[in-house]
Amino acid sequence: DTAVSQTPKYLVTQMGNDKSIKCEQNLGHDTMYWYKQDSKKFLKIMFSYNNKELIINETVPNRFSPKSPDKAHLNLHINSLELGDSAVYFCAASGPGSYEQYFGPGTRLTVT
């Protein structure tokens, strides 16, 4: 069973469009995250949710809006996509008191 899953795996879209990436975890963990990996492979946190509440927002543009309908899901919606949004987006989950994070397979977003 896949612990953290993301859909879609690949997403190609044009500038100005709005798109969503979905993340689901079956670990029963309370905390979920979104990371962005740029073309130089640099990984940077974007958001963190604990039990459906936003706890970390790392100066990400307002065009990015995470949504957590329940503890097992953390979706990422991006409005008015820009070329610079092209990256691999990783979802992750961690349990209470644990700093180990379990990562999803990533979603490669290409904005043309």
Partner 1 sequence: AQRVTQPEKLLSVFKGAPVELKCNYSYSGSPELFWYVQYSRQRLQLLLRHISRESIKGFTADLNKGETSFHLKKPFAQEEDSAMYYCALSGQGAQKLVFGQGTRLTINP
The answer for residues whose C-beta is within 8 angstroms of residue 74's C-beta and 6 or more apart is: 23, 32, 33, 34, 47, 49, 66, 67, 68, 91
110 near partner 1, judged by CB under 8 A: no
54 near partner 1, judged by CB under 8 A: no
In the stretch 58-87, what mask flags binding to partner 1 with x, by CB under 8 A? x-----------------------------
Q: Which is nearer to partner 1, 64 or 103 (CB)?
A: 103
The answer for residues whose C-beta is within 8 angstroms of residue 40's C-beta and 6 or more apart is: none
15 near partner 1, judged by CB under 8 A: no
Q: Which two tokens stand for residue 83?
A: 């070329």
- Least CB distance from residue 2 to partner 1, whole Å? 9
- Least CB distance from residue 76 to partner 1, whole Å? 16
Measured distance CA(59)–CA(11) in Å, rounded: 24
